[in-house]
Amino acid sequence: MPLRGPVSQLKSLAPRRICIIKPSALGDVVQSLPLVPALRRRYPDAAIHWVINRDFAPLLEDHPDLAEVIPFDRRGSWRNFVRLLRDLRRRDFDLVFDLQGLARSALMTLATGARCRIGMQTAREGSSWACHGTLPDTGWQIPAHRRVANVIAALEVEPSPTESGLHIPPAARTWAQSRLQALPRPILAIHAGAGWETKRWPAEKFAEIARRFGGSIVTVGSRGEAPLAAPIIAAVSSAGNHAALDLAGLTSLPQLAAVLEQVDLVLSNDSGPMHLAAAAGTPVVGVFTCTSPILSGPAGMQHQLIATSVPCAASYCKHCPQQGPLHLACLEELSVDRVWQAVQRVCGQVSPVRHSA
């Protein structure tokens, strides 16, 4: 579909300063990263800035294609938010992309005063009114990774299937190598956490996968998800498998990205670390219960995305609306055997020496 109205300015615009507004969530931020190198190719002389949740800012710091990372405190005071809006106004942006599409990001977008403000068709809470136009083929029916690819297509820049936009600092790679170098290959990283209860396949099922796996196990996750690693590590120890390393709650985001890059495969719920692993080039076995692997999963034939088949699958409910025996039935329905078979399929595709630091 051809671009119309103010959005068509993308073809002729020569911006000096560009702002990407995408504060969260981690997986969404990671899937939006390919836009950065695409903008650099399309507008080589522009300074590119990114507004992001302060918790995720370390992932973008020192990115070679970003002039600045602008941290946003989601739980900050109204006064601090007004200060951010004034700061955005002073920066005199020419081109702004609101990839978040919520009322809060709309206020940020309006505050920039940019003469070309672009949104997506997924915009909610009236946020599209802050933009001069929304890009075609960026609605909810389009897979998330394709929506970003369609934004890039609007720039008339060909998306690169190998260009994830993820930047891992050398120090983080060195740190990860020092932690993993003593572990026998293959190495399976497991992330048992997720932001929604309906996304969290039971840690005990992850533990059973770890018990069956013949190589080394590395558990990852945030500090709050660290307790989920305990039964997984215990399962490896009781099975007498090679080795287990618990890094849950012990990594920065760049270090986590480096760990996920250097292992051989990753088993994860639908979560930020799953997308981070895919962006780092590591094959993923993704567990999908309340979300759709088609709409929310990473692109690539190297991944195995396993979904539950309960009637309410892919409902995108953060909390299970079912009562009684049907409560969180998706977590029970998705069996260990199905996920284990997916792990075995991925194991047959990868080489344990595929990564180098």
- Is residue 275 a contact partner of residue 27, using CB atoms and an 8 Å limit? yes
| Residue 278 to residue 275: CA distance in whole angstroms | 5
Residue type, 193: G
CATH superfamily name and code, 5-154: Glycogen Phosphorylase B; (3.40.50.2000)
178 alpha carbon, distance to own chain's centre: 25
**Helix, coil or strand: residue 294:** helix
Q: Is the pLDDT of residue 1 over 60?
A: no
Peptide bond into 357 cis (omega under 30): no
| Residue 284 to residue 264: CA distance in whole angstroms | 9
The CA–CA distances, whole Å, from 61 to 93, 170, 220, 222 equal 20, 13, 21, 19
Residue extents of the structural domains in the chain: 5-154, 171-347
Q: Is the pLDDT of residue 187 over 70?
A: yes
Range 7-20 average pLDDT: 85
| pLDDT per residue as tens digits for the range 201-240 | 999 999 999 999 989 999 999 999 999 999 999 999 887 7
Residue type, 219: T
Tokens 């002039």 belong to 67
Looking at domain 171-347, does it have CATH number 3.40.50.2000? yes
Dihedral sign of CA atoms 333, 335, 338, 340 in order: positive
Average pLDDT across the chain, whole number: 93
| pLDDT per residue as tens digits for the range 14-68 | 999 999 999 999 999 999 999 999 999 999 999 999 999 999 999 999 999 999 9
| pLDDT per residue as tens digits for the range 240-251 | 767 999 999 999
Range 170-191 average pLDDT: 97
Q: How far apart are the first and last CA of the chain?
A: 43
The yes-or-no answer to whether 5-154 and 171-347 have a common fold is yes
The CA–CA distances, whole Å, from 83 to 86, 115, 176, 265, 353 equal 5, 21, 37, 43, 49
| pLDDT per residue as tens digits for the range 83-132 | 999 999 999 999 999 999 999 999 999 999 999 999 999 999 999 999 99
**Containing H/E element for 175?**
helix 170-180
Range 62-86 average pLDDT: 94
| Residue 243 to residue 229: CA distance in whole angstroms | 14
| Residue 208 to residue 190: CA distance in whole angstroms | 12
Q: Is the pLDDT of residue 135 over 90?
A: yes
Query: Helix 203-212 to helix 230-239 angle, to the nearest 10 degrees?
Result: 30
- Is residue 264 a contact partner of residue 282, using CB atoms and an 8 Å limit? yes
**Containing H/E element for 68?**
strand 68-72
Percent of the chain with pLDDT over 90: 86
Q: What is the pLDDT of residue 241?
A: 65
| Residue 321 to residue 326: CA distance in whole angstroms | 9
The CA–CA distances, whole Å, from 259 to 58, 148, 222, 236 equal 15, 25, 14, 19
Q: What is the pLDDT of residue 6?
A: 53
Contacts for 112 with CB less than 8 Å, ≥ 6 apart = 19, 88, 89, 91, 93, 96
The CA–CA distances, whole Å, from 245 to 59, 66, 230 equal 23, 34, 11
Q: Is the pLDDT of residue 353 over 70?
A: no
